[in-house]
Structure 1
Amino acid sequence: MSNSQLKTQRPQKDQYSVEVTGSPDIPGEGKPRRNALCPDKLIVHPNGATTLYENFLNGVKEAGDGNFLGRREIKDGPYVWQSYREVQKRVSNFGSGLNKMGLKPKDLVGFFSINTPEYVMAQLACYQYNFISVPLYDTLGAEAIEFIVNQTEMVYSLVTANKVQHLLNMKDKLPTLKTIIITDQYDPELTELANSLDVKIVNFNHVEKDGSIHPVEAKNAKPDDTAIICYTSGTTGTPKGVVLTHKNIMANVASVRWLAENGKLFLASPDDVHISYLPLAHVFELVNTATMIYGGTAIGFYQGDTLKLLDDIAELKPTVFISVPRLLNRVYDKVIAGVKAKGGVAQWMFTTALNTKKNGLNKGNVDHWMWDRVAFAPIRARLGGRVRTILSGAAPISSEVMDFLRIAFSADVYEGYGQTENAACLTITLHGDIASGHVGSPQVCVEVKLIDVPDMHYTSKDKPYPRGEICVRGHSVFHEYYKLPEKTAETLDKDGWCHTGDIGQWDKCGRLVIIDRVKNIFKLAQGEYIVPEKIEKIYTKHELVFQAFVYGDSLQPSLVAVIVPNDEALLKYVKQNNLIKTSYKKLCTEPQIKKHFLQTLNKYGKANDLKGFECIKNIHLAYEPFSIANGLLTPTFKLKRHQARIKFQKEIDQMYMEIS
């Protein structure tokens, strides 16, 4: 399809999505919308690749003896590479070795590892031999790992040496786990401990070597076969295993590729270099990697230490930088703080450069002959100096940071929005659209609609723009939650619509804007899911607290809270510390009391197993209790979270300002 054909399909110059032709009017919901560039069909897979193994074969065809997987074999040393053809042989041998160990098509393989070449090779072997990968990761916690291993009845797991002890310590709770494949060097004593626990330890290279002798022919996966069960912490209670097929993941690869080939996204090629540091256990990096592999792109891995990530980037010099707002915010904050610290002429020059390029950006130009060399070259060097494409995902990013990235790096900067349930990316911003504050138009593999949420006063008839819960249907939407039919039915309706739980609105150009959440769950800027009721329940058990409202802005990396003190406990503290007796209202504003509450509650939270990102970083003490009368409690005494956010918005803004 030519660019001229694409232009004629768009109903207006500035419309990025259009209503699906012939869709019926259904009360309580808006009409489905598709990307305006591809309104008549949904893309299923890219040319020549219906499965993730075929996706890899396309990469081999594109790159051949070109670089594929790179690592720094010597600490802080240069990157050492394996080519696509070299990896293809190793993948087949490892898959054959797994088969010889007893794995059959559709058997499960656990992955408990940071990103490494072995991780990718093992995953590709699973794709080739039709095994199902099940990632495990530390941030879910020990209880979640126990749940995942037992729910999937996991027998085999690929593990890095530093995580083996963790699994062996839990072995009495993991009865099905029998074989651990270690990807790197390990202490021989681990073998003795494992043997005593009836667990077999095997080295990655041993499996690969055994598979190369009289190799077993692969029974390749089909598009509708399960590729991965990706567990998400995005619910209360135990995690849910999102079942994603080869077709689901390839649909997003196809969408990105289709848009790229039509000039609307970056086109990954053998000339590109991608740094892989976001966890492969999460679907975001999984799909990123698959997209890079299709184009024959070189993938270099960080050393595993986030404190050395910028050193790895400086050595690798990536052309594509895919990240999350937490890290991109850090780059921005360090630059701005450094400029302010210098002051004087340096600060004036940087501010002038920034404003000059911002004026150019508003006219569609991201380059400047002088300021790019004088003011922004040192900033570009932080990401290796070659970055031409930046993609942010996993959580919302602020307009200010998006504009800064475009200005400082003269790069194409994109933002994607999605969930594990829709294989990472539901909408994405497009090349040439430099407006901020939205998450773009639907991928060309899905269609999107908004349904009314009357309790929150969001409807598809709202003016000036329709609002409602975001629902998505199409080729990237997940199959089911593993062994959870009731939970599946709550999210995936009979017509195939996945209910995201996010509230969105269509802007005047047909782009999606995220404005709220249906459920009491949200993401922080680094992409971690937060269940506020869980945290509030813990804090309200402390004698200092009568009521609690925990809040997290998805553009911020941390939580804040409005606390209604237990007045007796507060007055007791005042007496014990000989504070000046004053009104109860004024006591709630005393810095010493606020500091005492914050320190005490964080210590208490950690003692009650709250993770670091679940601990509040600032508080506001409210002297007036939440009640039915003031509109903050329901008749059954549940917190009206939406109303509480509105009431305390000023205090929330102040708390974030204090910790920024």
Structure 2
Amino acid sequence: MATAHDLNRQSVELTGDEHVRISPLCTDGQILEYYFEDARTTPEALRRGARVSSNGPFLGFRPGPEDPYQWLTYDQVLERVNNFGSGLIKLGYKPGQSTFVGIYSQNRAEWVITDHGCCTYSMVTVPLYDTLGPDAVTFIINQVGMKVVVCDVQAKVELLLDKADRTPTLQQIVVMETVSDEIKETAKENNIDIISFTDVEAMGRIEPHEPVMPKPDDLLTICYTSGTTGDPKGAMITHGNIIAGMSGCCAHIKGFGDLTADDCMISYLPLAHMYERSCQLWVYMQGGRVGFFRGNIRELMNDIKELKPTLFPVVPRVLNRIYDKVISQVNSSCLKKFAFNLAMRKKRALIKRGIIGNNTIWDRLVFGKIQAMLGGNVKQFCSCGAPMSERVLQFARCALGCYVYDCYGQTESACPATMTLPRESKTGRCGPPIPSCSVKLVDVPDMEYFVENQQGEVCLKGPSVFKGYFNDAEKTSETLDDGGWLHTGDIGQWLPDGALKIIDRKKHIFKLDQGEYIAPEKIENIYTRSQFIAQIFVHGDSLQRYLVAVVSPDPENLQNWARSKGLTGSLDELCGNKVVKDAILKDLVQQGKTSGLKGFEQVKDIYISSEQFSIENGLMTPTFKIRRLELRRRFEQKIEEMYNNLNCMK
């Protein structure tokens, strides 16, 4: 395995007609399946972590808001893993691929113990999560034929019992915390047994079973993607898939981002998704530690300060919040603003020379307090789910003084497929293929994207690509072609240095009444560069000539602008102010012109909503993508009013 990172030659094209690109780090052009000989499945990876850490601390938690982290060692976790898996067998569940176990819980040690307790006996886990909604949870239980679900708290048990008449296969609920006698009685009435997590462990301790270790091609999990419309799809992920993905990451950043037993990760992104699960694998197969947040995202910064992590997986929304908080403080003083901007310029110059760190005079004088917000030890940020804006990415690299990797992947690729290089100084890209994945682009004629122009739909292939959707041959054939290529639906462009850039989305396209194709996500990505915009939903259909949009403004920027113009009032009042609306619409159009949008791609009217799109109000997916169907339903009346006004003006 080569270790050089040539920023001018980040990927290489294989000979042939398909224009396939791979990492230059692939030895003799061979795609990487695993990085460590003794970690080819997740149970092997956990045992490797125990060995290389010399039974060091593994899983950490805080009993209370003022308490320090308490730690379970690798051997303690392994003992509980074997006990829990043996306990499931005692309950009547057979080792092997025919047993599916649901996990309906926030991130915590018991989540990991359940997951490994199942896979140590070749069982398959099926994560459930709140934002799927009760109907989707019911759909998943029935599609899989699930007999047992492991829950964390009583509220989750209640949600399952509310739908018990629609989930006839469900027989047992294992719960981590105590539940009331009333809930136990309700469960009994529905012919469902409630069993405590500790009791299952105790059964396995009394009657242990030898592990039934999986093979790399065996299923690890069925990870359901929420999607923006329709029923969720169950991506079948094998042990080999997730091992390959994270092995590729290890090889990709070798010499820069190698982890040891001294490294620690903060766990707060949902374990029900492959991104968080992959990151944890990355840590434990190298003997590192994972500390869980206490479950309240508002208290996350407090947990981070106590944990002092070295590895921080993020989605752009989290980094955006950190950035906004810092900039708000910087803008409170002309002196602070001057010092901050000067320090940013100096650090950017260093990064362009390949120098990344937090030990300069600018770190001591300006950025030290910012770094202390995150515990002061962060060495690596990994971002996935959406592209980071240039200003936030530059802020993270400069002010936090650490490597920041912008990754691209999907659930169906066991998360990572491409990843920026450690010393990358440019922005607006998601890097080259990691050594465990091949990438090619294919023509999309309807959208005028052609491979000859280095543009097209991104397709992925390799040992990290999933096996298909559970019990859904039709959707599988729509996503995986006969050659084994995963069609992502994203439009990419190869940059001259061999890095990939995501420029559009194929899936969400529609025609206006004149026949013009519209890719709303491309327009939304441009409009979010406006100072006024926190979130935006661009809408159009084949019966209308124009595009309209629902805008959720950036409250702080909007109120600062309003004060500068002598406008007063609450956020709700500003959102209803015509002067504000005209200013935002004008700025959006200008952003569109600057970025080369055609006239028919510009919105003609907007509605400003003071309510942010969020997971909690159902307007975003758990991976922070907007739910288009739900947004259209929620703002149907406002959309109709905008079109009525526009049509009256013809």
Alignment match of 1:331 (pick from 303, 322, 332): 322
Q: Structure 2 residue aligned with 1:130, among 119, 122, 128?
A: 122
Equivalent position of 2:452 in the other structure: 461
2:547 is matched with none
Q: Which residue identity does 1:334 align to in structure 2?
A: K
The answer to whether residue 231 in structure 2 is matched with residue 238 in structure 1 is: yes
SS in 2 for 1:421: helix
Query: Which residue of structure 2 lines up, in the alignment, with residue 101 of structure 1?
Result: 91
Structure 1 match to 2:8: 14
Amino acid at match of 2:465: V
1:487-508 alpha-carbon deviations (Å, 9 max, x no partner): 1011101110010000001000
Cα pair distance change 1:338/1:496, threshold 3 Å: same
Q: Which residue identity is paired with 1:495?
A: G
Paired AA for residue 77 in structure 1: D
Residues 35, 443 of structure 1: 8 Å contact kept? yes
Q: Aligned equivalents of 2:21 and 2:618: distance in 1?
A: 43
Q: Distance in 2 between matches of 1:335 and 1:553?
A: 23
Conserved in 2, the CA contact under 8 Å of 1:100 and 1:216? no
Q: Secondary structure at the match of 2:120?
A: helix
Aligned counterpart in structure 2 of residue 560 of structure 1, from 537, 543, 546: 537
Which residue is 1:378 aligned to?
Answer: 369
Select which of 40, 45, 48 maps to 1:50.
40
Shift of 1:144: 1.0
Of the structure 1 ranges 346-355 and 400-409, higher mean CA displacement relative to structure 2 is found in 346-355
Rounded to whole Å, the distance in 1 between the matches of 2:19 and 2:132 is 37
Q: CA deviation at 1:558?
A: 2.5
Give distance in 1, aligned partners of 2:385 and 2:581: 36
| Equivalent residue, structure 2, for 1:543 | none
The separation in 2 between residues aligned to 1:401 and 1:15, in whole angstroms, is 26
Q: Which residue of 2 aligns with 1:511?
A: 499
Residue aligned with 1:441, SS: coil
Partner of 1:475: 463
Q: TM-score, normalised by structure 2?
A: 0.81
- Residues 542-568 of structure 1: CA deviation (Å, up to 9, x unaligned): xxxxxx9897439686333468999xx
Paired residues for 1:161-180 under 5 Å:
161=153, 162-180=155-173
SS in 2 for 1:375: helix
Paired with 1:128 and 1:426, the residues of 2 have a C-alpha distance of 27
2-side partners of 1:557 and 1:271: how far apart? 38
Aligned match of 2:281: 290
* Residue number in structure 1 paired with 2:210: 217
CA distance in 1, matches of 2:618, 2:436: 41
CA contact (8 A) 2:489 2:507 kept: yes
Query: How do 1:272-291 and structure 2 match up within 5 A?
Result: 272-291=263-282
Aligned-partner residue type, residue 345 of structure 1? L
1:120, distance to aligned residue in structure 2 (A): 0.3
Is the Cα–Cα contact under 8 Å of residues 246 and 416 in structure 2 kept in the other structure?
no
- State the Cα distance separating 1:611 from its structure 2 match: 6.2
Whether the aligned pair in 1 keeps the contact of 2:60 and 2:109 (CA below 8 Å) is: yes
Call closer, same or farther: CA 1:557–1:250 in 2, change over 3 Å: farther
The one-letter amino acid of 1:434's match is S
Query: Which one of 403, 424, 431 corresponds to residue 433 of structure 1?
Result: 424
Choose from 334, 339, 356 the match for 1:349: 339
Structure 2 partner of 1:419: 410
Query: Would the aligned equivalents of 2:387 and 2:428 in 1 still touch at CA under 8 Å?
Result: no
Residue 488 of structure 2 is aligned with which of 496, 500, 518? 500
- 1:223 & 1:57 partners in 2: Cα distance? 15
Match of 1:150 among 142, 146, 171: 142
Tell me the amino acid that sits aligned with residue 54 of structure 1.
E
Query: Is this contact kept in 2: 1:127–1:227, CA < 8 A?
Result: yes
Could you tell me which runs of 5 or more consecutive residues in structure 1 were left unpaired when the two chains were aligned.
522-531, 537-547, 567-587, 631-660
CA contact under 8 A between 2:581 and 2:608: conserved in structure 1? no
CA offsets 1:439-463 (integer angstroms, 9 cap, x no match)? 011111111100000110000111x
Q: Which moved more, 1:250-259 or 1:110-119?
A: 250-259
Of 421, 437, 440, the residue aligned with 1:446 is 437
CA 1:382 to 1:57, structure 2 compared with 1: closer, same or farther past 3 Å?
same
Which residue identity lines up with residue 380 of structure 1 in the other structure? Q
Residue in 1 that maps onto 2:554: none
Distance 1:388 1:270 in 2: 14
The secondary structure found in structure 2 opposite 1:332 is helix
Please give the alpha-carbon distance, in whole angstroms, between the structure 2 residues aligned to 1:601 and 1:371. Answer: 38
SS in 2 for 1:481: coil
Post-superposition Cα deviations, 1:247-295, rounded to whole Å, max 9, x if no partner, equal: 11110121122234x32x5112101010110000001001111111101
CA contact (8 A) 1:64 1:85 kept: no
Matches within 5 A, 1:579-658: 590=578, 598=607, 614=627, 615=631, 621=642, 624-625=646-647
Q: Which residue of 1 aligns with 2:473?
A: 485
Match in the other structure for 2:248:
255
CA distance in 2, matches of 1:157, 1:392: 31
AA aligned opposite 1:191: K
Conservation of the 8 A alpha-carbon contact between 1:589 and 1:621: no
Mapping of residues 169-208 of structure 1, within 5 Å: 169-208=162-201
- 1:399 corresponds in structure 2 to 390
Query: Contact between 2:7 and 2:424, CA under 8 Å: does it hold in 1?
Result: no
How does the TM-score come out when normalised to structure 1? 0.80
The 1:75–1:50 alpha-carbon spacing in structure 2 relative to 1, beyond 3 Å, is same
Contact 2:407–2:419 under 8 Å retained in 1: yes
Task: Tell me, yes or no, if the aligned pair for 1:98 and 1:211 is still in contact at 8 Å.
Answer: yes
Give the Å deviation of 1:366.
3.2
Task: Decide which of 34, 52, 55 is 1:65's aligned counterpart.
Answer: 55
Q: Name the CA distance, whole Å, in 1 between partners of 2:227 and 2:463.
A: 22
Corresponding residue for residue 633 of structure 1: none
In structure 2, the CA distance between the partners of 1:470 and 1:115, relative to structure 1 (3 Å rule), is same
Q: Distance in 2 between matches of 1:386 and 1:433?
A: 21
Question: Contact between 1:325 and 1:393, CA under 8 Å: does it hold in 2?
Answer: yes
CA distance in 2, matches of 1:552, 1:222: 43
Structure 1 contact 459–467 (Cα < 8 Å) conserved: yes
Higher alpha-carbon deviation: 189-198 or 124-133:
189-198
Separation of aligned partners in 2, 1:184 and 1:552: 43
SS in 2 for 1:231: strand
Deviates more, 1:452-461 or 1:30-39: 30-39
The alignment's C-alpha RMSD in Å is: 3.4
Q: Does 1:41 align with 2:30?
A: yes
Note if 1:120 corresponds to 2:109: no
CA distance in 2, matches of 1:601, 1:403: 29
Q: CA deviation at 1:114?
A: 0.4
Label 1:163 to 1:450 Cα distance change in 2 as closer, same or farther (>3 A). same
Q: Which moved more, 1:375-384 or 1:163-172?
A: 163-172
Give the SS at the match of 1:372: helix
Cα gap change, 1:207/1:460 in structure 2, threshold over 3 Å: closer, same or farther? same
Residues in 1 aligned to 2:348 and 2:608: alpha-carbon distance in whole angstroms: 42
CA distance in 1, matches of 2:377, 2:459: 38
Aligned to 1:369: 360
Cα distance in 1 for partners of 2:413, 2:134 equals 26
| 2:313 corresponds to which of 310, 322, 328 | 322
Letter in 1 for 2:470: Y
- Structure 1 window deviating more from structure 2 (45-54 vs 359-368): it is 359-368
Cα deviation, 1:360-390, whole Å, max 9, x if unaligned, reads 2222223463210111111011111110111
Shift, 1:601, TM fit: 12
Question: CA 1:562–1:468 in structure 2 vs 1: closer, same or farther (change >3 Å)?
Answer: closer
Q: Report the equivalent of 1:577.
A: none
Instruction: Determine what percentage of the aligned residue pairs are the same residue.
Output: 38
**Quick one: which amino acid aligns to residue 536 of structure 2?**
L
| CA distance in 2: counterparts of 1:592 and 1:358, whole angstroms | 35
Tell me, yes or no, if the aligned pair for 2:520 and 2:538 is still in contact at 8 Å. yes
Residues 381 and 405 in structure 2, CA contact (< 8 A), matched pair in contact too: yes
